Amino acid sequence: MLFRSLVAISLGAVLVVGQQSCPGYRASNVQQTSNGLTADLTLAGSACNIYGTDLPNLTLTVEYQTANRLHVLIEDRNKTVYQVPNDIFSRPSSSNGASSSNSVLRFTYTESPFSFAVARSDGEALFNTSGSPLVFESQYLNLRTSLPTNPNLYGLGEHSDSFRLNTTNYTRTFWNRDAYSIPSGTNLYGTHPTYIDHRGENGTHAVILLNSNGIEVKINDTAGQYLEYNTLGGVFDFYFLAGPTPVETSNQIAQVVGTPANIPYSGLGFHQCRYGYRDVYEVAGVVLNYSQAGIPLETMWTDIDYMYSRWIFTVDPDRFPMPKMRELVSHLHAHQQKYTVMVDPATAYQPNASYGAFQAGVQQDIFLKTSNGSLYQGVVWPGPTVFPDWFNPNTQAYWNQQFNSFFSADTGIDIDFLWIDMNEAANFCNWPCSNPAQYAADNKFPPAPPPVRNSSPIALPGFPPDFQPQNTSSKVKRQAPSSGTMKGLPGRNLVSPPYQIQNAAGSLSNKTINTDLIHYNGLTEYDTHNLYGTMMSNHSTNAMMSRRPEQRTMVITRSTFLGAGKYVGHWLGDNISDWPHYRISIAQMLAFSSIFQIPMVGSDVCGFGGNTTEQLCARWMTLGAFYPFYRNHNELGSISQEAYRWASVAAASRYAIDIRYRMLDYFYTAFYEQTVDGTPSLNPLFYIYPNDSNTFAVDLQYFFGKAVLLSPVTEENSTSVDVYLPNDIFYDWNNGFSPVRGNGAATTLHNISYEQIPIHIRGGTILPLRVNSSNTTTELRKQGFHLLVAQGLDGTASGTLYIDDGLSLTQPSQTYISFSWDGQRLSMNGTYGYAAGVSISRISILGASSQPQTITYNGNALSSQYNSSTRVVTILAQIPLTGNASLTISGPAAYTGTARASKSPNLVVLASSSVLVALAYVMGIW
């Protein structure tokens, strides 16, 4: 039910800003609805107009949408103030029968001055605005909630700060920008005003603010702990999610922002790129060198080097001629490999040239314009540029046409995946950029290309003849539905609003598109700036799908907004080749995967900017093998850092990719499950151990899926690492799966070579691994499965396996299997629609104490192998993935540990509809 506070809270009844105070609002005309309430909010005193004009009349809408989700919307009564368009962010709807009576959340309010609170039904306060009045002005909104002392807060991205947020004098700015070197403490490429508040045994909840205007969130502990929203416009559109576990909270975030898009199986392979490949011959040489080094390369990428003068949808006819580009792609495809290139939004302004992308855009009128009707120009890599208006209904058809032509399988570059960049949108020219042509000329945009080579300087075995030698004789960094219109209030200062957020680029329009531009539909860039990159993502995904409508695609973007994961993955931008960026990549990745629901995420391995070192690159290649998106990428002017350049890095790469590929179906399953309901495919430690307070601040260890604990070495010149092992049983991958008992304490792992990464398998899990790795994911899918059963402290274990064709958008058939082990029976149950063509050919039981006495099935004796050093029982088998199967136990008891009250016998028999296999098992002693 709904409650109204009987006592008006006077504390913080006015907000003092300088010499001015704000009165807040008074609630009236409260109407109960079937699933919430509505109310009018009227200014409760004289307007303060501190950073704009106070709006006198607002409305409040409270909606219990599910048992765990509460929607609170505070908007202007006339619905004139801008709101994120529904076609850009589709709002979740209420479940049938949802109401306050069946919700675990409770909404309460105070009439005057108006404030509200959200609490659990047990009284745990989650959000309470009573400490200060609501401010709702034409260009400034303010709302503050109190928090518990020393809260555990996560999210509020994109940033490169610690995973658990600082809660003292901390400011998080949301204004998407080109952020070379991804510095800490500043706004970066994306806007995700979502935070998780984890309170251990008191549960976990999340708060989402749907607002695309410039925002500052301030967190401080002066006069009590609080979190404060300051926005440059829009409305207060909140979703409160009750959890109560971290994983359930992430599930509920996905219900609001959308579940992530699934990707092709091959997208999880290893990728190589750099900015600065000289020509197509150098790209071909890289492909060859990976092959000769025995390092699997799934996808070769090319940065903007391939373009003519950095014009999108062109190739450099001298360095990357189309015929040779097509031969390169054909070579890759013939070897089961893929190819990807970059496309930016900025289109070269070339009114006097025969440049199809520009001329078609002008003809279809899809570029942004100034107030006088001329094309708006900035400066990006091609020099003077224009920018697509993604709100224009013609833009999608234009984008499709460019993709279908330039990336044609018959006449163009037949790419497999897509990379989009600079879509914040970036603009090199300082505001107000009065003369783009002069700025471009002064700063040498486009940059001069390298000298032309008529042929490859070295032999490239396996490539066509025209890739072979013939008998003839300035680095630039990446910069750094309603009755109202909801188009935005008139009369606002769209360039320099009264309230200044801490945008690291300076003014709102600096280094980006001018914020006073008006889009095709009447919306301002001031209001929609943070949507630009995600709208390009949506259009680009659609354009890729128009090429191959029956296949999944994979698009990797730089700029994101709430819900971007429904369309794209994200690389973490232009990082630096140093140890701090190596370390922070883990926290960044966890935020995007587990909170923001963009699970296809990773950092540039070995670093983008500056020169990497052999040791750093070796460590980073092993860490990157456990990013979802695994790509080595660096910039023009830096030393080459392909994985084969150093012997130790090559060895580390072969080691790490071998493990990644054997685990690929395990992770592909976890990724698929996230696309279904938002269950994270990467997990911070506190997601798995939510009541262990020692895990709350850990951001240098994480779980790949739910079972594989990564604890990378994070210090230069070190061969040891301090790790935290919760009170549980683990198994050491690098030591033959020998058991390691965690005691809820820190421990130091020693003698970790530069070519390895510490990996532990969490007890209680079952991992479907491939028996062997392969050079490509196509060959990997021909390998049988190795079922790894890691017993938990209670003698149980479980896991899942999802298999499909790895490519089709709509799967004609799927296999999804649940494995469970209870100490007496191993069950394999599921649906078996997809013909995998392989079987489970090996099963390992971890933690066994001795060799089984006998293994029989229907009187047939079978043998097993036992390693007394690692306590692993291994059985070779042939179990088809075509139907349910179960394991049963017989034989004398052997378990003498203390984890189970009853004893477990040591004989396991598998009964399958088509194969008879026996499995030995003895419980381990810890």
Residue of 141, 51, 17 whose CA lies nearest to 497: 51
Q: Fill in the DSSP letter of residue 464.
A: -
Query: 704 and 626 in contact (C-beta within 8 Å)?
Result: yes
Integer Cα distance of 551 and 764 in angstroms: 36
pLDDT score for 863: 67
| pLDDT tens readout for residues 241-300 | 999 999 999 999 999 999 999 999 999 999 999 999 999 999 999 999 999 999 999 999
| pLDDT tens readout for residues 558-584 | 999 999 999 999 999 999 999 999 999
| pLDDT tens readout for residues 678-704 | 999 999 999 999 999 999 999 999 999
Q: Which residue has the tokens 């979802």?
A: 628
Q: Which residue has the tokens 């306060």?
A: 125
Q: Which residue has the higher pLDDT, 853 or 926?
A: 853
Could you tell me the pLDDT band of residue 114, with boundaries at 50, 70 and 90? very high
Burial of 819 (0-12, 13-18, 19+ CB in 10 A): buried
Q: Which residue has the tokens 């094309």?
A: 375
Integer Cα distance of 240 and 248 in angstroms: 13
Query: Can you tell me whether residue 592 is helix, strand or coil?
Result: helix
Distance (Å) of CA 917 to CA 111, 311, 817, 873: 71, 61, 18, 14
Integer Cα distance of 730 and 707 in angstroms: 9
What is the number of other CB atoms lying within 10 angstroms of the CB of residue 57?
13
Cα angle 463, 320, 552; round to 5: 80
In the set 424, 673, 699, 755, the catalytic residue is 424
Residues linked to residue 357 through DSSP beta bridges, in sequence order: none
Residues 6+ apart with CB under 8 A from 316: 279, 305, 306, 307, 308, 309, 449
| pLDDT tens readout for residues 90-102 | 999 999 999 999 9
Residues 6+ apart with CB under 8 A from 711: 700, 701, 721, 723, 749, 757, 758, 759, 760
Residues 6+ apart with CB under 8 A from 16: none
Q: Which residue has the tokens 């589709």?
A: 90
The amino acid at residue 504 is A
pLDDT score for 877: 82
Q: Sign of torsion, CA 756 758 760 766?
A: negative
Residues linked to residue 767 through DSSP beta bridges, in sequence order: 788
Residue of 692, 726, 691 whose CA lies nearest to 709: 726
Burial of 99 (0-12, 13-18, 19+ CB in 10 A): middle
- Strand ranges across the sheet with 170-174: 135-136, 141-146, 226-231, 215-220, 170-174
Q: Is 421 noted as a catalytic residue in this protein?
A: yes
pLDDT score for 273: 98
Across 481-506, average pLDDT? 91
Could you tell me the pLDDT band of residue 923, with boundaries at 50, 70 and 90? very low
Q: Which residue has the tokens 């990013």?
A: 627
pLDDT score for 887: 62
Please spell the DSSP secondary structure of 303-326, one letter per residue: -GGGSSTT-TT---TTTS-HHHHH
Strand locations in 655-706 (E): 682-683, 702-704
Query: 361 and 367 in contact (C-beta within 8 Å)?
Result: yes
Query: 112 and 43 in contact (C-beta within 8 Å)?
Result: no
Q: What's the chain's average pLDDT?
A: 91
pLDDT score for 79: 97
Rg of the chain's alpha carbons, rounded to an integer? 29
Could you tell me the pLDDT band of residue 897, with boundaries at 50, 70 and 90? very low
Quick check: 475 pLDDT over 60? Answer: no
Quick check: 483 pLDDT over 70? Answer: no
| pLDDT tens readout for residues 829-885 | 999 999 999 999 998 999 987 776 654 334 444 467 889 999 998 888 888 999 998
Quick check: 409 pLDDT over 80? Answer: yes
pLDDT score for 6: 29
Integer Cα distance of 136 and 54 in angstroms: 6
Residues 6+ apart with CB under 8 A from 18: 50
Query: Can you tell me whether residue 108 is helix, strand or coil?
Result: strand
Integer Cα distance of 723 and 746 in angstroms: 5
SS (H, E, C) 56-72: CEEEEEEEECCCCEEEE
Could you tell me the pLDDT band of residue 905, with boundaries at 50, 70 and 90? very low
Quick check: 920 pLDDT over 50? Answer: no
The amino acid at residue 381 is W
Across 505-528, average pLDDT? 98
CA–centroid distance for 852 within its chain: 45
pLDDT score for 854: 57
Residues linked to residue 128 through DSSP beta bridges, in sequence order: 117
The pairing of beta strand 630-632 with beta strand 338-343: unpaired
Percent residues over pLDDT 90 in the chain: 87
Integer Cα distance of 685 and 681 in angstroms: 13
Q: Which residue has the tokens 């794209």?
A: 568
Query: 866 and 853 in contact (C-beta within 8 Å)?
Result: no
Quick check: 84 pLDDT over 60? Answer: yes
Integer Cα distance of 622 and 713 in angstroms: 10
pLDDT score for 747: 96
Q: Is 124 noted as a catalytic residue in this protein?
A: no
Quick check: 304 pLDDT over 70? Answer: yes
Q: Is 677 noted as a catalytic residue in this protein?
A: no
pLDDT score for 893: 24
Integer Cα distance of 814 and 818 in angstroms: 13
In the set 279, 574, 673, 804, the catalytic residue is 574
Quick check: 906 pLDDT over 60? Answer: no
In the set 282, 421, 525, 642, the catalytic residue is 421
Query: 638 and 604 in contact (C-beta within 8 Å)?
Result: no
Which pair of tokens denotes residue 622? Answer: 């092993």
pLDDT score for 864: 74
The amino acid at residue 238 is F
- Greatest CA span in the chain, whole angstroms? 92
| pLDDT tens readout for residues 782-830 | 999 999 999 999 989 999 999 999 999 999 999 999 999 887 677 899 9
Determine phi and psi for 509, rounding to 5 degrees: -90, -5
Residues comprising the chain, all counted? 926
| pLDDT tens readout for residues 729-771 | 999 999 999 999 999 999 999 999 999 999 999 999 999 999 9
Q: Which residue has the tokens 């706004």?
A: 187
Which pair of tokens denotes residue 623? Answer: 């860490």
| Candidate from 205-219, 460-474, 648-662 with smallest mean pLDDT | 460-474
Query: Can you tell me whether residue 195 is helix, strand or coil?
Result: strand
Q: Which residue has the tokens 């059963």?
A: 789
CA–centroid distance for 240 within its chain: 21
Integer Cα distance of 528 and 526 in angstroms: 6
Burial of 157 (0-12, 13-18, 19+ CB in 10 A): buried
Residue of 379, 392, 372 whose CA lies nearest to 348: 379
What is the H or E stretch that residue 291 is in? helix 280-293
